[in-house]
Amino acid sequence: MSAHIIDGKALALSLREDIAHAVSALVEETGVRPGLAAVLVGDDPASAVYVRNKKIACEKAGLYPQEHVLPASTTQEALLALIQQLNANSKIHGILVQLPLPPHIESKAILQAVSSDKDVDGFHPINVGRLVEGDPVFVPCTPKGVIHMIDSTGLDIAGKRAVVIGRSNIVGKPVAMLLLHRHATVTICHSRTKDLPSVVREADIVIAAIGKPLFVTPDMVKEGAVVIDVGINRLPDGKLVGDVDFDGVKERAGWITPVPGGVGPMTIAMLLQNTLESAKRMGK
């Protein structure tokens, strides 16, 4: 039987409607409009599209978007000065620095400079620490969206075997931590994992965050598993695909996310939600 499709686009749309209502209620009650500043350095076309989509989503949900597009030649000092300015701006409740930054800028220093109270991406070491402790303030957007998608299936995560493929700081590790806090038994796989297919075959929940087109094939997936595909890969013919062989795996999985229209839209919805929550906290 073919898997149920987890429609990220529809889920995200419904979340964004709820956020829009909550934003207008907040503005009415307190006069505070949640503000999100997006900082883009350089002219990477994919990053420019992400930033533009985030701005449009902000506007549609009634948030106040600020866009800072800087040339690739921007110095680290100039970028740090902008971040300090945004940290101090009371109209801004969330600061997002679009990655990757140009190689001459030390990303770590920039992410650490963002106030941990405005760190809507959840990348600041203080927020990473809070997440590990199980008491997060900002949950990173993509991992938060992944958990929301699993929850939308009705599956109880507690006690399930979860395998996360990929161990990046922005997806793999935080997703694994969130699953652990929800009482899954979690394994993280990476490029040095031995016999990765046999590990993945054990999983009731598979999260693919690798960045390799069609990496997860049907023979790796347990019948009925929930498969969440975080990957976004562009094939030479221009087609966008995930890390999962969707057509093959959907014949074995119980639930599966498509690419596009899966995790991507959820990430943006979670960014809006984190900004709204931040504005509510600061307004108190």
Give whichever of 19 and 230 is closer to ligand NDP, judged by the CB atom: 230
Give the x/- contact pattern for ligand NDP in 119-148, rule: CB under 6 A.
Answer: -----------------------x------
Rounded to a whole number of angstroms, the distance between the first and last alpha carbons of the chain is: 51
Interface residue with ligand NDP, options 128, 210, 227, 249 (CB under 6 A): 210
Assess 225 for contact with ligand NDP (CB under 6 A): no
Q: Is residue 114 within 8 Å of residue 93, measured between CB atoms? A: no
- Establish whether 112 is a catalytic residue: no
158-197: which residues touch ligand NDP (CB under 6 A)? 165-168, 170-172, 189-193, 196
Give the x/- contact pattern for ligand NDP in 233-272, rule: CB under 6 A.
Answer: x-----------------------------xx--x-----
54, 160, 173, 222: the active-site residue: 54
Task: Output the residue with the shortest Cβ distance to ligand NDP.
Answer: 168
Assess 209 for contact with ligand NDP (CB under 6 A): yes
Q: Which residues contact 127 (CB under 8 A, 6 or more apart)?
A: 116, 119, 136, 137, 138
Q: What are phi and psi of 81, to 5 degrees?
A: -65, -40
Give whichever of 51 and 165 is closer to ligand NDP, judged by the CB atom: 165
Q: Which residues contact 60 (CB under 8 A, 6 or more apart)?
A: 16, 20
Give whichever of 206 and 209 is closer to ligand NDP, judged by the CB atom: 209
- Establish whether 121 is a catalytic residue: yes
Q: What ranges in the chain are assigned the alpha helix state H? A: 8-30, 45-61, 76-88, 107-113, 125-133, 141-151, 172-181, 196-200, 246-249, 263-283
119, 121, 243, 245: the active-site residue: 121
- Establish whether 135 is a catalytic residue: no
Q: What gap in Å lies between CA 131 and CA 267, rounded to an integer?
A: 18
Q: Which residues pair with 165 in a beta bridge?
A: 189, 208
DSSP 8-state secondary structure symbol assigned to residue 243: S
Q: What are phi and psi of 129, to 5 degrees?
A: -60, -45
How many residues in the shown chain lie near ligand NDP by CB under 6 A? 25
Active-site residue numbers? Answer: 54, 98, 121
Site residues (CB under 6 A) for ligand NDP?
Answer: 142, 165-168, 170-172, 189-193, 196, 209-212, 230-233, 263-264, 267
